[in-house]
Amino acid sequence: MKTWAAVFAICGVMFLGGCSSVSVTTDHDPEANFAAMKTFQWLTNQKDALSANAQTNMFQNQLIEKRFMNAVVEQLKAKGVTQVEENPDFFVMYFAGTQDKVNVTNYGYGYGRGWYGGGGVDVHQYTEGTIVLDFIEAKNKELVWRGTASGALSSKPTLEEAQEKLSNIVAKMLAEYPPQAKK
């Protein structure tokens, strides 16, 4: 039962307490010709590639996986990139995982006029979710672009909140795609 509770909580989605708390980074191959990359195809992967513990696999829920993939397709379509069944210019692959984290804040030791006392310590446990989105050039099978989003998972978002947050995360990941060509 604990496993299903964890999966359900995680599938409350990487819905990282709101987009402002999501850390997004991107990297790309400066030699890649992104202007020529107009079609893509999903590449299947080992779903728990970031985590050996299947319990932490965020996309065990096919509904969430579908929403994530649809958000990526929508963002790419808005950028003039089309999903195809055969002969793509590049492949899209993703990985997702979670990790338990502990944040400790030590307020030190307090001093004042004629008194002193402890400042205190706060300990906060949370689960951090990460999504990695990779674009792999079809011809040479090389990674040409990677986006990563990480943040604390929020608990029990509504379906609408989860979809909106997931769409915002994907939009933030792809905000600067395609990268600007060198001048």
* Residue 113 pLDDT > 80: no
Which domain CATH number covers 116? 3.30.160
Mean per-residue pLDDT, 10-21: 47
Residues near 159 by beta carbon (within 8 Å), at least 6 away in sequence: none
**Range of the structural domain that residue 111 is part of:** 13-173
Length of the chain in residues, anyone?
Answer: 183
> Which residue would you say has higher pLDDT here, 167 or 122?
167
pLDDT at 74 over 50: yes
Strand partners, 109: 118
pLDDT of 95 higher than 80:
yes
Q: What's the average model confidence in pLDDT over 101-107?
A: 80
Strand partners, 143: 136
> Is-contact 131 168, C-beta < 8 A?
no
183 domain-assigned: no
Whole-number average pLDDT of the chain = 79
3-state secondary structure of 77: helix
Rounded to an integer, the average pLDDT of 167-182 is 90
Does residue 2 lie within any of the structural domains? no
In a domain, 71, yes or no: yes
Q: Does the residue 3 lie in any domain?
A: no
Q: What is the DSSP letter of 98?
A: E
Q: What is the DSSP string of 14-27?
A: S--SSGGG-EEEEE
The pTM (predicted TM-score) of the whole model is 0.74
Taking a C-beta distance cutoff of 8 angstroms, is the pair 42, 92 a contact? yes
pLDDT, tens digit, 9 for 90 and up, residues 17-31: 444 488 999 999 999
Percentage with pLDDT > 90 across the chain: 43
Q: Is residue 53 part of a domain?
A: yes
Residue 180 forms part of a structural domain:
no
Structurally, the chain folds into a number of domains equal to: 1
